[in-house]
Structure 1
Amino acid sequence: MTAVRNAAAAEMQREADEAVRVLREGGLILYPTDTVWGIGCDATNAAAVERIYRLKRSENKKSMLVLCASAEMTVRYVNKAPGIAFDVMEMATKPLTLILPGAVGVAGNLIPEEGTLGVRVPDHEFCRLLLRGLRRPLVSTSANLSGEATPAGLEEVAREIVDGVDFVVNPRFEGKPTRKASSIIAFGEGGEVKIIRE
């Protein structure tokens, strides 16, 4: 059984390595997360971010969040986040996106006028491998055209999206996603809290 597990882990690592190679070259990937399938790119690459907006036919910066590997990684990209936000992040028992003030170090076209950044630390093995390999935040936005329903699984993703990315992760590595979007909580610099989506 251990040999089978090791082989599966090696296969997942190879898939993640290939996805990271594409991301480092400015490419777009279609990949599974702990919630729904997402379109991703290196969050520090403005040209790649622009490609996602074009692919989704949307300029809505609020629809784009980033995945970070940990709270430690998150603090490098939001410099005004209150401490309570990280307490909430640590205590979350289901997928939770935090809207945090003071976005820095990511592509300018990811940051809305109010200077915030949506961040989630995914509880998902494949995403963790991507983040470990990329060593930067990974854009995560639902794999749908603007105005259309969020696809829960790869089989529901529009052909235009599938054809518009550079790499589609094998659905074998999907894990056990919730198949619904995460909860969203926004934090102000002074620790003010606003629930955006339960």
Structure 2
Amino acid sequence: MENIIQILKSGGTILYPTDTIWGIGCDATNIDAINKIFEIKKREKNKSMIILVENEKRLQDLVDVPEMAWEIIDLSEKPVTIVYENPRGLPKELLADDGSIGIRLVKNDFCKKLITKLNKPLVSTSANFSGEKSPLKFSNISQEMIDLVDYAVEENREVVSKYSGSSVIKIWSDNRIKVLRE
């Protein structure tokens, strides 16, 4: 784990198992690392990426969390990414065109431990090239992708995710909601 943290702190990128699919990640406060992920994925910069946080405090440090968001987080059995308005302390490179950000409060132990040790939010985007299918397990990731990142995490390589992605729900400060992905 310490090796992974050092890579992230030095601006590196990793392949890692999330609570849904395998993802590419980096320190969500490091603009150079974020740009590296856009390059690796061959992704247009106007397509925002989400971030993962390990606890409610970190989430509240980054955004004002509407009451409806807490209810959805508490009641959802499937991992859920919520798109919030007006984030604080995050690079503009991570934000959508309207200034919003998708954030998922992770529930799985590996991601919680990783983010806690990094002590910063973690970028998460599927470990595939733009337009390709998202990898449910490590063996679904192309060798080219593996070669482009700085480190591929060893944990949970054979585990197959039961989720092909998280639900994505946009919540406005007035508690209006819109489901962007089931």
TM-score (norm 2): 0.93
Contact 1:61 1:110 survives alignment (8 Å): no
Which of 125, 150, 153 aligns to 1:141? It is 125
Aligned residue identity for 1:64? M
Contact 1:102 1:115 survives alignment (8 Å): yes
How far, CA to CA, are the matches of 2:49 and 2:157 in structure 1? 23
How far, CA to CA, are the matches of 2:38 and 2:100 in structure 1? 18
Corresponding residue of 1:3: none
Going from structure 1 to structure 2, the CA distance change for 1:19 and 1:128 (only over 3 Å counts) comes to same
Corresponding residue of 1:111: 95
How far, CA to CA, are the matches of 1:26 and 1:191 in structure 2? 36
Which of 131, 144, 151 aligns to 2:135? It is 151
SS of equivalent to 1:151 = coil
Which of 52, 76, 83 aligns to 2:67? It is 83
Which of 4, 14, 22 aligns to 2:7? It is 22
How far, CA to CA, are the matches of 2:157 and 2:92 in structure 1? 31
Aligned residue identity for 2:11? G
The size of the alignment, in residue pairs, is: 182
How far, CA to CA, are the matches of 2:158 and 2:75 in structure 1? 24
Contact 1:124 1:175 survives alignment (8 Å): no
Corresponding residue of 1:189: 173
Contact 1:34 1:123 survives alignment (8 Å): yes
How far, CA to CA, are the matches of 1:60 and 1:182 in structure 2? 21
Of the structure 1 ranges 179-188 and 61-70, higher mean CA displacement relative to structure 2 is found in 61-70
Deviations 1:74-110 (A, max 9, x none): 111124x422212221222211110111122112211
SS of equivalent to 2:147 = helix
How far, CA to CA, are the matches of 2:121 and 2:158 in structure 1? 20
Contact 1:17 1:130 survives alignment (8 Å): no
CA deviation after TM superposition for structure 1 residue 168, in Å: 0.5
Contact 1:23 1:42 survives alignment (8 Å): yes
% same residue: 36
SS of equivalent to 1:130 = helix
Going from structure 1 to structure 2, the CA distance change for 1:61 and 1:85 (only over 3 Å counts) comes to farther
Matches of residues 94-109 of structure 1 in structure 2 within 5 Å? 94-109=78-93
How far, CA to CA, are the matches of 2:143 and 2:36 in structure 1? 16
How far, CA to CA, are the matches of 2:160 and 2:22 in structure 1? 12
Q: Which has the higher helix share?
A: 1
How far, CA to CA, are the matches of 2:160 and 2:133 in structure 1? 21
SS of equivalent to 1:76 = helix
5+ residue gaps in structure 1?
A: 1-15
Aligned residue identity for 2:78? K
Which of 23, 45, 61 aligns to 1:38? It is 23
Going from structure 1 to structure 2, the CA distance change for 1:62 and 1:75 (only over 3 Å counts) comes to farther
What's the C-alpha RMSD, in Å, of the aligned pairs? 1.7
